[in-house]
Every structure is written in structure tokens, then in C-alpha cells.
Structure 1
Amino acid sequence: MISEPEMVDEFGVVGTGEVVGDLARKPAREPRPPRPWWWALGGAVLASAVWAGVFCLYPVGDRRPEMHGYRLNEDPCPTVRLKALGAAISPREPTSGSGPELLNDSALDRVRCFLPLRAMSWKGAKKSVKSRWYTGHSVGITVALHKRTDPAAEFEAMRGVTDTDTGDEVKVEKVPNLGDSAYLLTRDSGNAELRVLEGGAVFALSLDAYTTYDGDGSEPPSDDGPDISDLSPYKSAMISDMRDLMKSLRD
């Protein structure tokens, strides 16, 4: 059997002489010239705009909170006047009841202290019996400046939680026109705490009442002393002293 002669076409392709169609004989397309540089730049700008929009909708990382000029470079407790509570109850003692707990860090500045008020004698209902009951009050102050993370969510989550559990129900009252958010927490056991959030700054001013009996070793009378459970009369004084504290720490 005689094979068909091989043929070499004009493109140097070896074949059998069969017709394979026009497609095989058409020359390849010339390479497309590159797109101008400004087109690529326009695409990059468009992509950047899209990603910028995504970042605005879904921000990456926590934003630093606004500090509103608050500073905590030193212990403020010695200069806290407690003018309103001093007028409503009794003046503060000249020295703090405990040493201040001062923290200065790149992420958080924090201070906590307790300021006792002068104990006052209490006159009972029975005027013929000299009362030896004394009532005392202690004021606690806490200032925390969060410089890296926003404390707002934590502040709201903790609005009904206190450090001590006395078994009494905690009553929470919203306080308007004070910082970004403010709450007054009270217990029937003679405790009230005012908490304020403004930007990255969190303030707390607590008022605790207690009673003592000076009986020279004798048992206290059966009347069990004065009732200290209601601290509502001092609400406005606590708010006033809180405003003074916040003002003293602002530039």
C-alpha cells in the first residue's frame, strides 16, 4: 500500500496532504497592546474606594475613646472638697481613711480612695435618755481613664452590679444631664453609688452610712439605733460633688 506523500505547508507544518480547513491556515492574532497606565491607576483607585467603604461600614480594631481633657497625673483625693455632702451631712475628715490606690499606665489611669466624714451624735426619740449612738458616713471615690478601649459597653453591662453583696436589692435610677450616661445605685442597707461615664472616663462616688454605740462597754439599747437605710436625701449632694470632681480633673 502506497502511503500518501507528506507535504510541508507554508508554515512548516508536516501533513499528509489532507485538507484540514481554513482555521489551521490562518495566522495567529498579533499580541494585544498593553492597556494605558491610567486605566490601571483608575482601577486601583476604584478598588481603594470600595475597600474604604468596607472599612467605614466594618471598622477594623477598636477606636480610642475621647478623653474630653481628663487627666490623672496625681492623686486627687487630698483636694476633693465634698462641699455639698459636707453641708448635708458633716464635713470630711482632713485626712483620707485609707491610702490611695493610684495606677498610671499607657492603657489605663486609675485611682481609688475613701474619705470619711465626721461622725455625728444622734438624738433619739426619748429625750429623757441621753443617746450614745453615733452615725458615720464614708465616701468612696474611683476614677478610671480608659485611654485605649471604649468602656461604654462594660459600663452599661455593670450598671446594676456592685462590688459587695449584702443581700439587699439594688435599685438603679437613671441620672439625666450628667456625662454621657449616669446611674444612681442604692441599697436599703445604707449604701448609694453614683456612676458616670463620659468618653473614656468612668467615675464613681459612693456613700456608705454606719452606726456606732458609745456605751462604755454596756449593751446598746433595744431601739437598735438610728435608721440609716434611706440615703435619698443626699442624692443632689452626691451629684453636685461629682460635678466638682469631674471639673477638677479636666484641663
Structure 2
Amino acid sequence: MASVLWTPALSVHTPDDRRPDMRGYRLEQDPCPSLRLRSLGAAIAPRVTARDLGTGLLQHAALDRIRCHIPLRSRAGEERTEDGWSLEYTVGIAVALHKETDPGVEFEAQRRVTDLGFEPEAKLETVPDLGDKAYLLTRDEGDTELRVLEGGAVLSLGLTATTLHESDGHGDDGAGAEPDVPDPASYQAAMISDMRDLMSSLKH
């Protein structure tokens, strides 16, 4: 009698049953070169089409992953102040498709973890109606990141603003008032829109 009851239990809890639902996501090639970033391009500046700094596409039975950093076209010539200051923006993209292990618990555990480590003071805002779970993480005035969990897919779109100074050759490096970095909240709608485009482009 015991063996009769035990057999169905084994059939229900097989390793394959614990694999996450991929929801149609696939990483067959690097999506970064073709990612248009239409909304951020309209809100800030178009991307530099010929440049993106990536770490290469990883394809494995357990995990597919890609990371890249895409500079937006510099408007330094148009917006540089008389003191030589300008703002530059970079968009960071990361996609990880977990095919063997559900990433949900890890996604929650790393809500305040950045490339610099655990940052308890970082600001978190939940984003509704995007994937299974999504939130915006703002580390400081010039650095914000949108993270999304959907099935076995974890996606990230970050925006970093950097102030730069170009010397005029007269020894006044850094002189004058450094420009204020815009509030990242003004670009959140654009980030969400471009994240939706990224998600759609990876579904087959």
C-alpha cells in the first residue's frame, strides 16, 4: 500500500516541474544593437547607434544572459555652459533568462543591491502592471534603475547621468557652477515605455 501512495508523489515533484515558465522569452542574439530606446531618445537624446559596450551573449542550458551600456548621443555642443560643463547620459541594459531555477526569491532578496553592493538607503518604488513584479531603484540623483521579473526572466534598464567638464585650455578646469542633474523621476515614464519595448522584442 505504501508503494502505491509513494509512486504518484514522485511523479508530481520531478525536477522539470520546478523549472520557471519562460513566458516566451528567448535570447537568440544580442538585442542591444537593435534596441531603439525611442522614449528615452525623445526625452533626452537619441542613442549612439554605432556604439554599445557589452559583455557578450552567454547561452547555457541553465541561463542565457546579456549586458550592455548604450550612450545617448551627446548634446554637449548644444548644451555646454559657458563654464564648460555638460551632462552625458548612458543607458544600461541587462537580461537574464533563468531556465532551470526560479529567480523570484533572488529578485526579492536583491531589491537594494547594486553594482556597488547593498545600499539600504536607496529609494524603492513599485511599478504596477509591468511583468510579475517591477520596481524602480534610485541610488542617487543621477542613477536610477528599472527592474522587472516575469516568469524566469529578469530584466533591467538603468539610466545614469554624468556631469563632464571640458577645459578651454586656460587653467580653469572645473571653474563655475556644475550643472544640476535632472530628477530621474522626469524620465521614469520613458524608462517604462522602453522596457516594454525590450520585453516585447525578446518574446517569440
Of 176, 181, 188, 2:128 maps to: 176
- The whole-number CA distance in structure 1 between the counterparts of 2:134 and 2:9 is 34
- 2: distance between equivalents of 1:220 and 1:232? 27
Aligned partners of 2:96 and 2:118: how far apart in 1? 25
% same residue: 52
CA distance in 2, matches of 1:196, 1:168: 20
Contact 1:77–1:100 (CA<8 Å) still a contact in 2?
Answer: no
The aligned residue for residue 236 of structure 1 is: 189
Partner amino acid for 1:222? G
Residue in structure 2 matched with residue 5 of structure 1 by the alignment: none
8 Å Cα contact 2:136-2:144 kept in structure 1: yes
Spell out the pairing of 1:5-16 with structure 2 (5 A cutoff): none
Task: Report the equivalent of 1:158.
Answer: 110
Residue pairs, 1:47-196, within 5 angstroms: 48-49=4-5, 52=8, 59=13, 61=15, 63-121=18-76, 122=79, 130-164=82-116, 169-196=121-148
Give 5+ residue unaligned stretches, structure 1.
1-42, 125-129
The structure with higher relative contact order (CA 8 Å, sep 6+) is 2
Deviation at 1:168, TM superposition (A): 8.8
What CA distance in whole angstroms lies between the structure 2 residues aligned with 1:145 and 1:48?
38
- C-alpha RMSD of the superposition: 2.4
Does 1:203 pair with 2:158? no
Q: How many residues align?
A: 199
The answer to whether the Cα contact below 8 Å between 2:112 and 2:118 also exists between their aligned partners in 1 is no
Gaps of 5+ in 2: none
TM-score, L = length of structure 2: 0.88
Write the letter of the residue equivalent to 1:112.
Answer: R
Kept in 2, the 8 Å contact 1:188–1:229? The answer is no
- Shift of the 97–156 alpha-carbon distance from structure 1 to 2, 3 Å rule, reads same
Q: After superposition, what is the alpha-carbon deviation per residue over 1:8-48, rounded to whole angstroms, capped at 9, x for unaligned?
A: xxxxxxxxxxxxxxxxxxxxxxxxxxxxxxxxxxx47xx53
Name the TM-score, length of structure 1 as normaliser. 0.72
Larger radius of gyration between Structure 1 and Structure 2: 1
Per residue, is there more strand in 1 or in 2? 2
